[in-house]
Amino acid sequence: MTDFETFLLDGRPVRFTRGQTILEAALAAGHYIPNLCHHPEFRPHGSCKLCTVKVNGRLGAACTVKAMPGQEVASDTPELNGTRRVLLQMLFVEGSHFCPGCEKSGACKLQALAYDLEMLTPHFEHFYPSRPIDASHPDVLIDFNRCIMCELCVRASREVDGKNVFALAGRGTASHVVINSASGKLVDTDFALSDKAAHVCPVGAILPKRVGFAVPIGERLYDVDSISTQAEKRVGEEV
Amino acid sequence: MFHVAPTTRKRKVRIATTSLSGCFGCHMSLLDIDERLLALAEIAEFDRSPITDIKHCGPCDIAIVEGGVCNAENVHVLRELRANAKVLVALGACAVNGGLPAQRNHVDVGECLARVYTHRSEGQAGAVPNDPELPLLLDKVHPINEVVRVDYFVPGCPPSGDAIWKYLTDLIDGRIPRLEHPMLHFD
């Protein structure tokens, strides 16, 4: 038996090692599958569903389904991309994602995905939420209106920083991120700018203070190459 | 140089434009197509628009709407455009998702007006303007697709002149309009 086995992604063979998920194997081979709550350093969460693919005809999240030899996986199809666009639209209307007023614009994964999937309108009726902004911490600001509940900060704080600063509370449309301190304020936790959790937010919800425009608009992460082009260039890296 | 398909048009494409609750930035961006305006003028003419100063819209092919809907007059103008246009295009962030004006949506409009007009410094009396000519504010600012059916959306704050040109020429020449990276921008 060889070290590598293969499955088919949109008709192209992709090599993988046992234990890899479809998403990990695809990204390592330079084949982009849209994803939002995935982070290579953390266990899969499977909540955003952007990476949904058809595995042997059945829908599954590419970040949680293990790659198996002989699988036939469909990802870049009009049907799946259409569904992904609807998921993005729902995320956009649920929070306050006003890109011209957000300092994350250009380096935001949600926005980059919307560009990549050519989402021209949020389509649905906006929630226009009014959630509190926590600017209590000296180095980090949290705008809960932009939170997409990917749980990356929760996972980073728990698994890497060992601090458990964040948690998800509530259910369904009432679910939201809470801060683990008596006051509910970030300043009353042991959260620090050097924490992993301060730097994993894919959107503009957790922002380090005083560096908002250190990188000018036009030179940001997704300004030159789109998110899919970047992934395709990163063959062999852990992404 | 700025090629528009040489069809044998019997008449010019008639375009209406308006700025509802916007900043005219998208109209400025439309002017940013620079000398391509001359190519546009050969194939298109303007109906109601800040460019022509015509106040009411007649039957037209394309209506371009900048800005969201924040007051009663916006609703009337938008409905008039929709009723007269074959194709209605939402141009820019405010028309597409409410944009900057919609950032007032989490504030009560009465409190907002009171804060602006009645909380004055000492010696200055203030009252919320109440002239019958002033259009009534809506309690929320809405993207235009929450009021009328919209055929096409061009996001951006503002969309670049190039993006507007690409979209408009696609539309006029009968192609499916498309914006891709790096022309597609929300900011």
Residues A143 and A88 in one domain: yes
* A43 shares contact with chain B (CB less than 8 Å): no
- A237 in a domain, yes or no? no
Q: Rounded to 5, what percent of chain B is helix, strand, coil?
A: 35, 20, 45
**What is the pLDDT at residue A173?**
85
Mean pLDDT computed over A107-123: 96
Q: Which residues of chain A does B145 touch, with a Cβ-Cβ cutoff of 8 Å?
A: 121, 123
Mean pLDDT computed over B159-180: 94
> How many CA atoms does the CB half-sphere of A122 hold within 13 Å?
31
* B97 shares contact with chain A (CB less than 8 Å): yes
* Nearest CB to A217; choose among B93, B181, B187: B187
For A103, nearest residue in chain B (alpha carbons): B187
Given CA atoms A149, A155, A156, A162 in this order, what sign does their dihedral have? positive
Query: A155 falls in which pLDDT band (50, 70, 90)?
Result: very high
Q: Which domain holds residue A14?
A: 5-76
CA distance A188 to chain B (A): 27
Pick among B151, B166, B186, B187 to test the A interface (most A CBs inside 10 A):
B186
**What is the pLDDT at residue B126?**
80
- A43 in a domain, yes or no? yes
DSSP state of A124: S
Kindly report, residue by residue over B6-49, the tens digit of the pLDDT.
555 678 999 999 999 999 999 999 999 999 999 999 999 999 99
Q: Which amino acid is at B108?
A: D
Helix B161-172 / helix B36-43 crossing angle, nearest 10 deg: 20
CATH number of residue A33's parent domain: 3.10.20.740
Residue B88 contacts residue B147 (beta carbons within 8 Å): no
Are the beta carbons of B155 and A121 separated by less than 8 Å?
A: yes
Q: Which residues of chain A does B93 touch, with a Cβ-Cβ cutoff of 8 Å?
A: 98-100
End-of-domain residue from the set A47, A76, A105: A76
Question: Into how many domains does chain A fold?
Answer: 2
Kindly report, residue by residue over A27-81, the tens digit of the pLDDT.
999 999 999 999 999 999 999 999 999 999 999 999 999 999 999 999 999 999 9
Domain B13-102+139-172 CATH superfamily:
NADH:ubiquinone oxidoreductase-like, 20kDa subunit (3.40.50.700)
Per-residue pLDDT for A115 more than 80?
Answer: yes
**What is the pLDDT at residue A151?**
94
Residues A202 and A110 in one domain: yes
Are the beta carbons of A122 and B178 separated by less than 8 Å?
A: no
Are the beta carbons of B102 and A98 separated by less than 8 Å?
A: yes
- A236 in a domain, yes or no? no
Kindly report, residue by residue over A79-107, the tens digit of the pLDDT.
999 999 999 999 999 999 999 999 999 99
Are the beta carbons of B187 and A223 separated by less than 8 Å?
A: no
Residue A122 contacts residue A85 (beta carbons within 8 Å): no
* Nearest CB to B103; choose among A98, A115, A229: A98
**Degrees, nearest 5: CA angle A210-A99-B178:** 145
More confident residue, B160 or B120: B160
Residues A50 and A145 in one domain: no
CATH number of residue A106's parent domain: 3.30.70.20
Residues A62 and A99 in one domain: no
Name the 3-class secondary structure at A212: coil
Residues A203 and A104 in one domain: yes
Q: Which residues contact B16 (CB under 8 A, 6 or more apart)?
A: B46, B47, B48, B49, B57, B60, B62, B63, B64, B81, B84, B85
* B158 shares contact with chain A (CB less than 8 Å): no
* Nearest CB to A226; choose among B102, B152, B181: B181
**What is the pLDDT at residue A21?**
97
For B180, nearest residue in chain A (alpha carbons): A118
Are the beta carbons of B106 and A116 separated by less than 8 Å?
A: no
Mean pLDDT computed over A182-203: 96
Task: State the ipTM, two decimals.
Answer: 0.90
**pTM score of the predicted model:** 0.93
- A194 in a domain, yes or no? yes
Query: B1 falls in which pLDDT band (50, 70, 90)?
Result: very low
**What is the pLDDT at residue B4?**
59
* A195 shares contact with chain B (CB less than 8 Å): no
Mean pLDDT computed over A202-210: 97
* A18 shares contact with chain B (CB less than 8 Å): no
Query: A127 falls in which pLDDT band (50, 70, 90)?
Result: very high
* Nearest CB to A128; choose among B106, B178, B187: B106
Quote the percentage of chain A above a pLDDT of 70: 97
Q: Are strands B60-66 and A52-55 parallel, antiparallel or unpaired?
A: unpaired
**What is the pLDDT at residue A201?**
97
Query: A164 falls in which pLDDT band (50, 70, 90)?
Result: very high
- A15 in a domain, yes or no? yes
For A106, nearest residue in chain B (alpha carbons): B187
Q: Which residues of chain B does A111 touch, with a Cβ-Cβ cutoff of 8 Å?
A: 186
